[in-house]
Amino acid sequence: MPLVRLQKFLAEAGVASRRAAEKLIVGGHITVNGQVVKTLGAKVDAAGAEVAVDGRVVRTRRKVYVVLHKPRGFLCTRSDPEERRTVLDLLPREWSNLFPVGRLDQDSEGLLFLTNDGEFSLHLTHPRYGIRKKYLAVVEGRIDESQLKRFTEGVEDEGELLKAERAHLITANNSHSSVELELAQGRNREVRRLFAALGHEVVQLRRTQIGPIRLGELPVGKWRILNPTEIKSLLPTPT
């Protein structure tokens, strides 16, 4: 069997996303055949090497892909030191090894994937893959066409260029507006920051679509398993 990069091995074993696995390696938490490995890019024999995290041997696990309708008030993390509710509280206990793919802030709701497949997570969250996500935002004040154009041209905020690939006005009056945004960058709290940059506060935010997968009629707080066709639709086509 060909050698694979250590961070890829850890991601595929469901230990963490590839970027989180890199931090574990650099931090000296990983041993290969009893030897600490801190070098990013180090390769291992996926079939024969004994890889351990803080002394615990890594065992390959069946890959799981979950779609959740995240409610407001839940954190996108596996655990919280303040013991606030997390999205893992909504899943069966046997899935405690899953981790969220990307994030929705505590006050947002909508479509969220959870998995133990680090490569899947990397593909959906890294900007270079450009996986598009749709959001429905209800904001204070009236949004007009000139502001929608600014969203698609890009807005500077805290040294970053925030940009929507598409912006569609659904309804608008003097008190509130409903807008659908389609994003590809995935920057931290990007939707809220886009509106705030133009003086509008988001009062409700729901993610409705990731790639071709729609939230649909999945009730708030409920989950389902992605089927093989859906998983394939989210991954790059082999060349």
CATH 3.10.290.10 domain span(s) along the chain: 3-57
Average pLDDT, the chain: 91
The predicted-structure confidence for 46-87, as pLDDT tens digits, reads as follows 777 899 999 999 876 778 999 999 999 999 988 888 989 999
CATH number of 3-57: 3.10.290.10
**Burial of residue 15 (number of CB atoms within 10 Å: 0-12, 13-18, 19+):** buried
Assigned fold of 65-127+213-234: Alpha-Beta Plaits (3.30.70)
Q: Where in the chain is the domain with CATH 3.30.2350.10?
A: 132-210
The predicted-structure confidence for 116-174, as pLDDT tens digits, reads as follows 888 888 889 887 888 999 999 999 999 999 999 999 999 999 888 999 999 999 999 99
54 is known as an active-site residue = no
Instruction: Tell me: pLDDT of 238 over 70.
Output: no
pLDDT exceeds 70 at position 2:
no
| Residue 1 in this model has a pLDDT that exceeds 50 | no
CATH number of 132-210: 3.30.2350.10
Greater model confidence, 186 or 110: 110
> What is the rounded CA–CA span in Å between residue 99 and residue 113?
9
34/19: higher pLDDT = 34
CA 51 – CA 11 distance, rounded (Å): 12
Active-site entry in 54, 80, 89, 105: 105
Examine the pLDDT at 26 and tell me if it is beyond 50: yes
